[in-house]
Amino acid sequence: MAMTYSSNMTYSNNMTYSSNMTYSNNMTYSSNMTYSSNMTCSSNTPDDYADYYGIDTDIYQTCNNNNVKAFSQVFLPTLYSIVFIVGFIGNGLVLCVLVKYHNRSNVTDVCLFNLVLSDLLFLISLPFWGHYAAISEWTFGGFMCHVVTALYMLGFYGSIFFMILMTVDRYAVIVHAHNSLFSKHRSVRGGIAVAFFMWLLSLGASLPHIIFSKLKNESNGSTCKVEYPQGTAWESFSYIELNILGLIFPLAVMVFCYSRIIPILMAIKSQRKHKAVRLILVLIIIFFLFWTPYNIVIFLKFLHKLGYMSTCQWEQDLTMAMQWVETIAFSHCCLNPIIYAFVGQKFRNLVLKILKQWFPVCFGQCTTIVSEFSERRSSVYSRSSVISTTKIV
């Protein structure tokens, strides 16, 4: 079959287009094209439009974060690994003591058990994020993207909520020690019910992050990140939620409760009251120092989302700062066993007892030395109390 194609095309400034096409069996092609235009091509860059409209062009530039990315590939995996190892050992020891000696458990132990469990959930997610930062690609699939995000957020909020619960429990025991209502409901069964409620709160606070976490296949590899729907307030809500639940609310509870606890402890005539007060002050100061920088950067990112500080330099600085403050905040879970468990002499003896059973060669001599030191210190306390009583008499 032969074809004839003829096309007459005319271009004018009015931007009209006409095309006449006929087909025949001669297989000839003729094309007549006429352009009646000056055909002046002008390429308007964003800078030209910015000069015309008076707009800052940094907003429309694609920010180059290669330097920040190269830094995070080395920095984040290293520090995440350190936090994971130290935190897993410390929290693992506390968990073993609580499980092995569960017959001696009380409400405080129930709170401490769930605090350790939330820290462990949080720590389990760190190797995945460290691997993701090292190779800049998520290789674990879409299901694991949701699972790791769930572990991360549940551990994050669970750790904070159970710290609040332990603070309120100490407040109830010391300030309202003679209140029958508190003593009646302060049982192990009641502690388990409250702990279950705290896990539900943690899940509710984590749901937006878990639901909107997505696996995306991009040009430079797969990514796992939280992407909120465009035109909604979910992202702004998440920033505000982190600030309120991550710092403002727990710090307010700790300051209120411990401000009532400290005067009562100071009024008690005991040799160990100053140690208890110092421990309380250390709890508040450490929580403030470790979590405040993280929440400040979160608030700055919230302002960046609203359009303030929208230059590329600000974006790079916030991304770099987030890596530092995140690691500082995450390392707080390594200190929880030391602050809440190892400080107590009874708990410390149980830890050494377990270590002696597991590693008799390494910790046998250490346990003997610690027990001798504890006996000497208790005898010193008893002598000092006798001397002070004699002087008073």
| pLDDT for position 103 | 63
pLDDT tens for residues 88-138? 998 998 888 888 877 666 777 888 899 999 999 999 999 999 999 899 889
How confident is the model at residue 374, as a pLDDT?
A: 52
Distance CA 102, CA 3 (A): 91
Q: How far apart are CA 382 and CA 271, in angstroms?
A: 10
**What does the alpha-carbon distance between residue 67 and residue 135 come to, in Å, rounded to a whole number?**
15
User: What share of residues in the chain are helix, strand, coil (percent, to 5)?
Assistant: 75, 5, 20
Q: How confident is the model at residue 18, as a pLDDT?
A: 43
The DSSP line for 293-335 is: HHHHHHHHHHHHHHTTT-SHHHHHHHHHHHHHHHHHHHTHHHH
For residue 333 the two structure tokens come to 């879970």
Backbone angles phi, psi at 54, to 5 degrees: 70, 40
Structure tokens at 211: 């639901």
Query: Domains in the chain, ordered, with CATH?
Result: 65-356 (1.20.1070.10)
pLDDT < 50 positions in the chain: 1-61, 370, 373, 377-393
pLDDT of residue 295: 92
User: Is the Cα torsion angle 94, 95, 101, 103 positive or negative in sign?
Assistant: positive
- One-letter amino acid at 142 equals G
Residue 198 to residues 22, 113, 213, Cα–Cα distance (Å): 78, 13, 23
Q: What is the pLDDT of residue 271?
A: 65
Whose structure tokens read 């907003």? 59
Tokens 């303030």 correspond to what residue? 308
The pTM of this model reads 0.72
Query: Cα-Cα-Cα-Cα dihedral of 40, 46, 49, 53, to 10°?
Result: 180
Q: What is the pLDDT of residue 390?
A: 29
